[in-house]
Amino acid sequence: MGFFAAHGASNPCVAANIAAYRHGEARLDEILGYLDESRHLLAGLLARHLPQVRYRPPDGTYLAWLDCTAMDLPGSPGLLVTSRAQVTVVNGPAFGAGGAGSFRLNFATPQPVLTEIVERAAAALNSGFSAPT
């Protein structure tokens, strides 16, 4: 009996997958359109609140790479955003030495939440706090 619980998908999961592949195209198009709007919304929010941050809207992901090196912050912007703005991001150095001064942000979230995220991040990064070590 443990074999069935440990291996393979359950019957409801298989049925849901089949339904998604057969009938989910309209919903997928809706989601992709929303994500496209969000990546452009993020560009506008950054231009307004954090114009020093470099961002190139990605072509095929909902993850944004935000380069804060022009801000000349005293520490890691990712740690500062996570600790001071209470927004969870992935600190750039987690991706190697080239990630210093940057962080990765997931923008696959409701657009009002994305707006709040950027506003809170801007408040943390523009406040002159030193980043936690």
Q: Using CA atoms, how far apart are residues 15 and 24, in angstroms rounded to an integer?
A: 13
Question: Has residue 131 got a pLDDT over 70?
Answer: no
Question: Could you tell me whether strands 63-67 and 90-91 are parallel, antiparallel, or unpaired per DSSP bridges?
Answer: unpaired
Please state which of the ranges 33-47, 73-87, 119-133 shows the lowest mean pLDDT.
119-133
Q: Which fold has domain 10-125?
A: Aspartate Aminotransferase, domain 1 (3.90.1150)
Phi, psi angles (nearest 5°) of residue 67: -95, 110
The 10s digit of each residue's pLDDT in 36-58 is: 999 999 999 999 999 999 999 99
| Residue pLDDT, tens place only, 82-97 | 999 999 999 999 999 8
